[in-house]
Amino acid sequence: MRFNYLNRMGKIFSTPGRRIIALAAVLFVLDQFTKWLVLHSIYEGEEKIIIPGFFNFTYRVNTGAAWSLFTGNNSLLALVALVALVALYFTRHHFNAHTFLGQVAFGLIFGGILGNLTDRLLPGRHAVIDFLHFYLAQRGSSEPLDFPAFNVADSAICTGVGLIFLITWQSEKSPRPAAN
């Protein structure tokens, strides 16, 4: 019985595409679960201090992109995300998706895009839920130095893109075989 389970699990992860899809699915579920927790435990605009002067959970709605750029363009940004997802899927072979690190990168990117795209398309929501807020309280000022709130999907996308840059940089840096 145990062997059959392991054999089935091995088949799920037997190809690069399946590994990418599996990681994207895990990340998507984690992203949506964390957003569900936020929606059911914090009121919109509320902040729960976790580390005073540094980190809190918040519930912010973003109809724009990073740093609230293009606010109010939710439908257009959903279309851009969908086009990016399809384009990345068909061009992934150009970015070493056959390597383990490439598969991790694309799993993170695909899962993150799908997580935020789902937020944009869900009836009643039509906006991305952001809830992780890092900031530094300044002495003598009521205004903190802060980073815009973000979510698990945003973190995954940024990490995946960073890995793609690293993979590309490493492959360009490695010596090429001499042409005969």
Distance in angstroms (rounded) separating the CA atoms of residues 44 and 37: 13
DSSP 93-130: GGGTTTSHHHHHHHHHHHHHHHHHHHHHHSTTT-SEEE
Please, what sign has the CA dihedral across residues 103, 104, 108, 111?
positive
Query: Does the annotation count 130 as an active-site position?
Result: yes
Q: Pick the catalytic residue: 31, 119, 130, 146?
A: 130
Query: Does the annotation count 146 as an active-site position?
Result: no
DSSP 125-151: T-SEEEEEEEEEPPTT-SS-EE---B-
Q: Pick the catalytic residue: 31, 119, 146, 154?
A: 154
Distance in angstroms (rounded) separating the CA atoms of residues 162 and 62: 23
At residue 120, φ and ψ (nearest 5 deg) are -70, -30
Catalytic residue list: 130, 154
